[in-house]
Amino acid sequence: MRTVEREHYLHLKNAQVIPTTGLRATHDNMKDVLQVKGMMCLYGAAGVGKTLSTNASLRELAPGATVRVQFRSRPAPSDIRTLLFEQLHIDGRLPSLAAERDNLLKKALAEQFRAVVLDEAQWMTTECFEYCRHLWDDDKTDIAIIFVGGGDCYRVLRREPMLSSRVFIWQEMKPLTHDEVVTYIPAYHPVWSNAEPDDITFVDTHAAHGNLRAWAKITAHTLIGLIRAETDVPNRDILQWVFSRLGGSYD
């Protein structure tokens, strides 16, 4: 499976990375952050394309130099140490003493430049943020740090003055605008390339609301509907059937 395909929600086959305003801003901001080896916070609601934009940008800007750490629940500094140790492929066993682990991590982070991405950063505690600052502040480490998180990420990081004062760029990722939906969704997936513009607007107004993850889900259901209806182009009947699978009320 291609890298880009894996990065789309539901591993949606044939989905494309589209140059939305948010993605272009992410690319430009990350380019500047990497140049100064600074910190960045990319935040926004679920499903608006934060992780996809981050991956697409760093695939071009820092190939082979990106270290990704993702949290599924509230981490402790020891979790960050362990995940970084694994992602950096440091030889040998993880030392039992935190100080020894830190020395190895700093040594690895000094060998070459790294873009360290901390995904779902809204879960991080004050101790975790302080640990990140400790690594970044070290004279020998050669890193930029990119915090990526949900809508609460901005508020959580702003509560940490020692860290937030060091953030070089704050970027809020927003849903697609109406004009972006009309322009980019036909290029996002072949299923929409021949769809009526009114049908694309209908989908966005009633179900997707500019959310890329919602568009991925709707696209996957639409592909199933097209197979069952033995047709190639979605129509209102198929779209209403898709809506019936999403839950909620869609008039």
pLDDT at 4: 61
CA-wise closest residue to 7 among 74, 59, 80, 72: 59
Q: What would the pLDDT profile of 126-173 be if each residue is shown by its tens digit?
A: 999 999 999 999 999 999 999 999 988 999 999 999 999 999 999 999
Measured torsion, CA atoms of residues 138, 143, 149, 154, in degrees rounded to the nearest 10: 50
| 10-residue stretch averages of pLDDT, the chain, 251 residues long | 62 92 97 98 96 95 94 86 90 80 92 96 93 95 96 92 96 96 96 94 96 96 96 94 83 55
Query: CA 44 to CA 172: how far, in whole Å?
Result: 5
Q: What does the pLDDT read at residue 5?
A: 61
Cα dihedral 129/3/195/176 (nearest 10): 20
In angstroms, how far apart are the furthest CA atoms of the chain?
Answer: 63
pLDDT of residue 151: 85
Fold of 21-173: Rossmann fold (3.40.50)
Q: Would you say the pTM of this structure is higher than 0.85?
A: yes
- How confident is the model at residue 248, as a pLDDT? 64
Distance (Å, whole) CA 125 – CA 131: 10
Exposure string for 165-183, b = 16+ CB within 10 A, e = fewer:
eebbbbbbbebbeeebbee
